[in-house]
A and B are shown apart, each in its own frame.
Chain A
């Protein structure tokens, strides 16, 4: 790349010819405020907050859309820039009905931060959007039009990034607003990427923190309230407390949940190990191979397999991403039999808690409330799916997002950085490195491959192949990862769809694959719709690396070596077949 010289605020900088002023500024830690710009998208230049002065030009330029030129002299904070920037901020702020008191976005509201920083006048213009309504997407996501500042990031997230095109523009000028499509063939899949990319919290999760807070406060003695947290939360939560990106904060996270008043704190990583074993086994069954090694005793194997009725359709898809399941249900019903029938990790966990654990603790399962802390908005929808109930009982009672959790901590003035580490409660505290990587794209696939490989090699009695743990070809942030792996004597054609926007491109080629992981959100759950903003590829990479570091350091790196999980499987084998299958499998 050709380098050129520019000057920003009298500082000489050598930069790439192709960069924009804003990219250069971010790279050099020069602050240029911006609202509609997001590194995930092409510059739209609609908010006009990132204006800068270019010496020799009459008019200001938007840093997000203006490329640097050799010899360019840029002033990012001249009086003229300050005046225009502030006025545009004031105009934008007057579009945003402030509901800050109870707003989750306070944890990192870009508009609020800028309003404070630039000391803007909140009364210069009256609010013009007060009366606008809220769009609701299931029980997962909402778009409060009275808070929207017309930056259009949600449209980019929904259309350009996720290829759903559920959100669009209606009307023009001051009458313009974000609207859901009138095309009945298009449905929202609750991925929450609109929320993740919203700078002002107009698009956000449908919150349940209020309910959770009330449940904790008004809990009677015989009730138990449990929190369980997803694999990916531990590597993103530190960002909310200025601890930097990609810090592993499992111990503090557990303590924080206890500090909020949860009686028990369980790690969904445990459930992920269950999911991996069920899924790996199903993969082999779809190949006509039955592994009896870890799950069931040999005598009963035929009977049990018959009752599980697993269709032998390939490729098999992962199904732990609830937005992906919704996508298949809306757009590709023909692929429903291809989804693995394994339940997702937090549902596995919750099922075991409300059966095995309740029995062990001698409590009525109806007295247990389970709250999942998830990086995801679609999990709110998943938790309420009817087919996941056991004996009419909903397993996960409430789902709050990473953001809601952070908000609860801040609201209760819990200083995360000062918390002592503690361990999640047993038996759900134990997990393998394979579970840890569930939170990143390719992680579910790699975990399943580790266990499937061990299952096959055990059958073939092949010790060398059994030792294989890492499947690096499925890692990383490319939109689609394509690989061939050898498990024993089987050549497996695998693919990893990183972001639902990449799915239709490979849809015509499905025949070429045996096993495909799909994560709706780019990066997987670490980039989930319920995560901390800002999330872009640089952030996703750091979070993903942190997950991999947990795996690297784990003593156990394969799900089937988790002794706690194996005990659960033994217990399950002693239960009635119906209950066992209910806990492990789902149907679509």
Chain B
């Protein structure tokens, strides 16, 4: 059984946040004919509240690199890039290089595996697929139109396989028959034992909070999947699985200052918006204006949310509505 069939059988999904079936991506990539092809391991970890990429580099680096080398040997790309968040590049460059040197005997293959440092100013969007491609191509930092998708038309217009570091790690495990349907969970916020944990991928939020002894003894809510794009859930909604990039952030419920959560969120998006499209650049700025007014014009606020949802250029702009809507609905109990 070849690796793609194994991946399919294991039902691996991408761990970057979008949970796209890995086998489908690999099948498309293998079928796309081209003289040049690229593989990129995405270790940008742009989503705040998620720390698993760093955790893997620290604790499971060999397994991850096994997965990446396996993919490189399987697809024989022109180049394989490890695209690392600025601080990770600095901290783990030597470690990764050393492991690669020890694992690959063929100079030809080794030469084509390269580490790339994500520029610091890339920020939140620096890990989004098409942004990352533009950064490697030394273009202005912003997303590209999709379609075409990177798998068929990516780096320098060539087919490019982009997978998250955790996905490559899982691929290594699948190939060895050691995959146990586990994923990494990052727990943070107002909790006693913050950190990265590894459990079955179908555990509920509640179960994970209990297992890690993080279930708060005060009224709270959680944001699940990442601090910028994750859905907000109340204390009564914890029986769901953890989505996105596997983060659970606990927030102390502060009914008096319920706007603060939104203000922080909007400030983050104002800073991180690349400025390309109107709904994100202008809309979020206006939402921030509206929310800080004494009497909040929620109708206009929600119109701007709908505008983002309907017409933002990239997935990041479209992510904000999920957070805002779920917060207003589940925590503020505002009808939307």
Interface set of A (CB-CB < 8 Å, partner B): 43, 45-49, 51, 59-60, 62, 65, 80, 83-84, 87-88, 91-92, 94-95, 124-126, 128, 150, 169, 171-176
Contact = CB atoms under 8 A, between A and B. Distances in A.
B34 interface: no
Interface of B: 140-141, 145, 270-279, 281-283, 285-286, 289, 300, 303-304, 306-307, 309-313, 318
A126 B279 CA distance: 16
A45 B307 CA distance: 15
A46 B279 contact: no
A128 B311 contact: no
B286 A150 contact: no
Given A87-B304, A91-B283, A169 B145 contact: no
Contacts of B271: 173
Contact of A48 (B140, B145, B303, B313): B313
Contacts of A47: 277-278
Contacts of A84: 306-307, 310-311
Q: What DSSP secondary structure best describes chain B's contact surface?
A: helix
Contacts of A150: 275, 278, 281
Contacts of B306: 83-84
Contact of A176 (B281, B300, B309): B281
B310 A51 contact: yes
A237 B180 CA distance: 74
Contacts of A51: 310-311
A46 B282 CA distance: 12
Contacts of B318: 59
A91 B277 contact: no
Contacts of A43: 145
A197 to B, nearest CB: 18
Given A48-B278, A59-B318, 18 more contacts: A45-B145, A45-B277, A46-B277, A46-B278, A59-B310, A83-B306, A87-B283, A87-B307, A91-B282, A124-B300, A125-B282, A126-B289, A150-B278, A172-B273, A172-B274, A173-B270, A174-B273, A174-B275
14 contacts: A43-B145, A45-B277, A45-B313, A46-B276, A46-B313, A48-B311, A62-B311, A87-B283, A92-B282, A94-B282, A126-B289, A169-B275, A172-B273, A175-B275
Given A174-B282, A174-B285, A80 B277 contact: no
Contact of B279 (A80, A91, A124, A169): A91
Contact of A173 (B275, B303, B307, B311): B275
| Candidate in A59, A126, A171 with the most chain B CB atoms within 10 angstroms | A59
A87 B275 CA distance: 17
A80 B310 contact: yes
Nearest to B121: A172
When A and B form their complex, which 10 residue pairs have the shortest distance between CB atoms, in order from nearest? A176-B275, A91-B282, A173-B273, A48-B311, A60-B310, A173-B275, A172-B275, A88-B278, A174-B285, A48-B278
Contacts of A173: 270-275, 281, 285
A122 B281 CA distance: 18
Contacts of B274: 172-173, 176
Nearest to A177: B275
Contacts of B285: 128, 173-174
B119 to A, nearest CB: 12
Nearest to A149: B278
Contacts of B273: 172-174
A173 B277 CA distance: 9
The listed residue with most A CB atoms (<10 A of its CB), out of B276, B277, B279, B310, is B310
B282 A65 contact: no
Nearest to B300: A124
A127 to B, nearest CB: 12
A91 B313 contact: no
B84 to A, nearest CB: 21
Nearest to A51: B311
A171 B275 contact: yes
Most buried by B among A62, A83, A88, A175: A88
A217 to B, nearest CB: 42
Nearest to A94: B282
Contacts of A175: 275
Nearest to B272: A173
Q: Which of A60, A84, A92 has the most CB of B within 10 A?
A: A84
A169 B276 CA distance: 10
A171 B312 CA distance: 20
